[in-house]
Amino acid sequence: MNEQLSNITTDEMGQVLRTLQQSNVFILAIDIAARLGLRGNHESNRRHIRSIVKKLREDGSKIISNMTDGYFLTDDDAIYREWLNDKTIDAKTILAKIHKAKQMLKDSAGQGLLFSQKIHDGCALIGV
Does 68 share its domain with 8?
A: yes
Expressed as residue numbers, the domain containing 31 is 3-75
Does 96 share its domain with 58?
A: no
Give the model confidence (pLDDT) of 6-32 as tens digits: 588 999 999 999 999 999 999 999 999
Does 48 share its domain with 13?
A: yes
Mean pLDDT taken over the chain: 83
Does 87 share its domain with 42?
A: no
Does 68 share its domain with 11?
A: yes
The pTM for the full model equals 0.68
Does 7 share its domain with 68?
A: yes
Does 66 share its domain with 95?
A: no
User: 10 Å Cβ neighbour count for 6?
Assistant: 8
Confidence of residue 103 (pLDDT cuts 50, 70, 90): confident
Does 56 share its domain with 71?
A: yes
Does 57 share its domain with 91?
A: no
- Domains: count for the chain: 2
The rounded distance, in Å, linking the Cα atoms of 96 and 70 is: 26
The rounded distance, in Å, linking the Cα atoms of 52 and 5 is: 7
